[in-house]
Amino acid sequence: PGGPALAKLAEEGTPGRFKFPRPMTDRPGCDFSFSGLKTAAINAWRELEPTLENRADVARAFEEAVVETLVIKCRRALQATRLKRLVVAGGVGANRRLRARLLELAKERGGRVYYPRLEFCTDNGAMIAYAGWRRLAAGQTEGAAIEVMPRWPLDQLPSVA
The DSSP-derived string for 46-111 is HTS---HHHHHHHHHHHHHHHHHHHHHHHHHHHHHHT--EEE--SGGGG-HHHHHHHHHHHHHTT-
Q: CA–CA distance from 144 to each of 70, 82, 129, 140, 147 (Å)?
A: 34, 33, 17, 13, 9
The model carries a pTM of 0.76
Q: CA–CA distance from 112 to each of 15, 67, 116 (Å)?
A: 28, 18, 14
* Residues in a beta bridge with 86: 113
**Residue range 93-120: average pLDDT?**
91
Percent with pLDDT over 70 in the chain: 88
**Residue range 46-55: average pLDDT?**
92
Alpha carbons within 13 A on the beta-carbon side of 33: 6
**Residue predicted with more confidence, 152 or 101:** 101
The long-range contacts involving 143-150, CB below 8 angstroms and separated by at least 24 positions, are none
Domains, the chain, with CATH or none = 3-140 (3.30.420.40)
Between CA 146 and CA 6 the distance in angstroms is: 37
**Residue predicted with more confidence, 136 or 126:** 136
Q: For all residues of the chain together, what is the average pLDDT?
A: 86
Out of 39-48, 90-99, 101-110, 151-160, least confident range: 151-160
